[in-house]
Structures are given as C-alpha cells and as structure tokens.
Structure 1
Amino acid sequence: MTLAVLGTGIMGAAVARNWLRAGQEVRVWNRARAGAEPLAADGAVVADTPADAVRGADPVVTVLFDAASVAEVMRAAAPGLAPGTLWLQLSTVGADGADELGALAADLGLTYVDAPVLGTRGPAEQGKLNVLASGPDEVRARVEELAAPISAKVTWLGPAGRGSRAKLVVNSWVVTSVAALAQSVALADALGVDFLPLIAGGPLDMPYAQVKGQLMGQRDYPVAFAAEGAAKDARLVGELAARAGVDSSIVDAVSRLLDEAVARGFAEVDMAAIYEAVRSPS
C-alpha cells in the first residue's frame, strides 16, 4: 500500500512519520517543498506536485489549512487520481467545507471519508490522535485499520460530514476554554495574583489549563495549536452555531480576540497567545 500525504505541516508531518514507522510506503507533498523534505530522511518520497504524489497511491490523505486549500490541492492532484481511490480528509474544514469537499470527491470519483482529528502536536507525534471519521460504512473497517498507527481512538460518526460537525463542537470548547483561561490569567497578572496554584489539584483544575496557563505566564508560545488555525476554527464554530439557532456571542468574542492576536504577529505561535489580546487590549 502506498499512501499520499498532501500537506506536511505540524500534523501532516507527524501522521506521515507514524505511517512510515508502521512500514507503509508514503509519498508526501507540501506547497513549500522545504516543509516536506525532512521526511525523506524517514523514508518518504517527496513529490514535486500533488498529481505526482497521488499517482498510484491509495489512500490519499489531506492535512491542509482549510476547505479552500484542500479543494485547490485535490483539483491539482486530479490528473494522478484513480477512480475509487480512498480520500481520507483530516483537515478542519467546517461543516459547509466538508460538504463541498464531498461534492468534489463525487466529481472526481473518489471514496470520501471526512475525518478531522482531535489532538495537537504532542498527540500527533505520539500517534495518539482521536480520528472523527465519517463516510461510507463499507470502508469503516479499512479506515480504522489505516488510522491505527496515527491514533489512540477512531470515533465513527456515520455519513460523511458528521466528523467535521463534531470537530467544531469540540473546538468550540477548546477555543472558549483557552479564552476564559486567558481572561483569568490576565486579570490575575494585573493584580499580582498567581492564578494557576489557586486551582491546582481541585475540581476547577484541568491539565489543559496548566499547560496553556504556563505559556501565558511566560509569554512564550511554542506552537501546539497555532493561533491562526484557532482563529479560523472559531469563525467556523460561530457560523455553524448561528445556522443551528444557537447563540454564538461567546465564540464570536473569542474569534475577535484570536483575530487580534493574529494581527499583532502571533499567527504562527500557539493559540495561548490570545493572552496578548486580553492582557493588552487594542
């Protein structure tokens, strides 16, 4: 089996390495070739174009920024795609994006599985992602087998598109939790209070708060979940909530803060940099 991984950022590089460690043949492509070349040392074949990467490969895996970039790359890959190829789409693309990509898959004659993942750099590198898979039931067993080297868990959610909807539900919790943490840490810092020890070990504590809160306290943000990606996801959550008839004011406020952090130059660092927008409002 040959896998083609299109997109070798933090997540794409990690899943490619885990498939290589599992003994799979992996081809990789990245818009900036320099981002894919380190994988050659792990045994990957670095392709010059998406079409070169996917030619003869099954499955094809996309790990890109958003629905528009996924669609663009898959159209570029089309000359190399064989009818019936399994397309495992791991990117966070939103509900509408997932449906649009499903329509593109039908046009290209591909078997489409919408499967965004839960987890950041650490779980990705450790092969402990949670894959939120949705697609045709007849490929479920194959997807679960394929996902084994990259995941601790595969959650099968039914028809394609349900994975992306579930991902936005989870990311609603992620971005609003980090924003609430930033509010508390910023207020504590302004008052000369050490916040994290106040909740440590009690019912209000959680490991995620300790990890992100320490980054905020140090004002140093090594990336696990980039602020730019979190801002994109917050916008997608707000749009979906509004269409579902759910008040989106909380996540909309988070979206504005993340956009502010991105505008201040924190796009490519960890989303904990939302602290900067809360601590020093514009």
Structure 2
Amino acid sequence: MVLAAGAGVLREPVAPVFEAIGSRAVRVSERPGDGHRLKLAANAWVLSITAATAQSVRLAEDLGLDSPYAQLKGSAMIDGEYPPAFPAGGAAKDAGQDMAAVKRVFHRGKGSSTVDSKDHDRIRGAVTV
C-alpha cells in the first residue's frame, strides 16, 4: 500500500508508479510528507499492539497458562465481528489486577521489569511476518 500526499494535480501522473509498487494507493492529504508521517503513526500502532500482545502472552506463560485469547479475538476481527467484551470499568479493574500479576511474576524472579532479548525476538518475528 502506498500512503500518498501532495498536490492533487500530481495524482494522475504518479498513479502508474503507485500501482507498480503497491497493492493500492491511499491519498492522505495535499501536504507533502503526510503519507510518510501517517506511515510512522501506523507503524507505532502496529509495534505497540505487537508488544502488548507479546507481553500478555508471556505473562500467561509465566503464570502457567495457555493464551488463546489473541487467536479468538483476532479471528473474530477478521470475520468483522466486534462484540463488546466488557464495560470500561471492568477493564480498569482488570488492568490493576494485571499489574499485580506482573509484579508477582517479576518478584518471583521469572522476569525483569524490562523487556528481555527473548521478548525482542518474539516482537521482531511478529512484526516482520
């Protein structure tokens, strides 16, 4: 995909180039550079989701559990299903409980308070797929 930005009069002349290098072109704005800026923002989103998923899977493993949640939710999203799972108040409560579980795991010596090289490898592998 090409994220394009620039003067509208340039759209038609560059269309063959965009078709040759991407599956489709998305016009972002008239301001040069906005396509690149949007790509950086999208990449930040992908990296944060990947890191958060890796952290959750690792926490489940460290707690001795399987983690089918990402696969279940991912499959539902691919199918276009987005049912609400629980209210925001429940999410806030769960976030506190998640932090407590992370602290318990790290205090038992099974991890550190930072992402280790094993996590970096998992994240890198997920991002490059």
Q: 2:124: which partner in 1?
A: 271
How far the C-alpha of 1:206 sits from its partner, in A, is 5.2
Scaled by the length of structure 1, the TM-score of the pair is 0.27
CA contact (8 A) 1:182 1:272 kept: no
CA contact (8 A) 1:134 1:162 kept: yes
CA contact (8 A) 1:132 1:155 kept: yes
CA contact (8 A) 2:50 2:126 kept: no
Measured in 1, the distance between the counterparts of 2:76 and 2:43 equals 19
Q: 1:188: which partner in 2?
A: 60
Bigger Cα Rg: 2
> In structure 2, what residue type is equivalent to 1:131?
V
Of 31, 36, 47 in structure 2, the residue corresponding to residue 164 of structure 1 is 36
CA contact (8 A) 1:178 1:272 kept: no
Unpaired runs of 5+ residues, structure 2, are 79-113
1:136 aligned onto 2:7: yes
Please state which structure has a larger fraction of its residues in helix.
2
Measured in 2, the distance between the counterparts of 1:186 and 1:162 equals 36
Q: 1:198 to 1:159 in 2, by over 3 A?
A: closer
Unpaired runs of 5+ residues, structure 1, are 1-129, 208-255, 275-282
Please state which structure has a larger fraction of its residues in strand.
1
Measured in 1, the distance between the counterparts of 2:16 and 2:9 equals 13
> In structure 2, what residue type is equivalent to 1:149?
A
What is the aligned-residue RMSD (CA, Å)? Answer: 3.4
- Partner of 2:24: helix, strand, or coil? strand
Structure number with the bigger relative contact order (C-alpha 8 A, sep ≥ 6) is 2
CA contact (8 A) 2:2 2:24 kept: yes
Scaled by the length of structure 2, the TM-score of the pair is 0.54
- Partner of 1:156: helix, strand, or coil? strand
> In structure 2, what residue type is equivalent to 1:176?
S
Measured in 1, the distance between the counterparts of 2:24 and 2:126 equals 29
Measured in 2, the distance between the counterparts of 1:146 and 1:174 equals 26
Q: 1:198 to 1:270 in 2, by over 3 A?
A: closer
How far the C-alpha of 1:137 sits from its partner, in A, is 2.5
Q: 1:146: which partner in 2?
A: 17
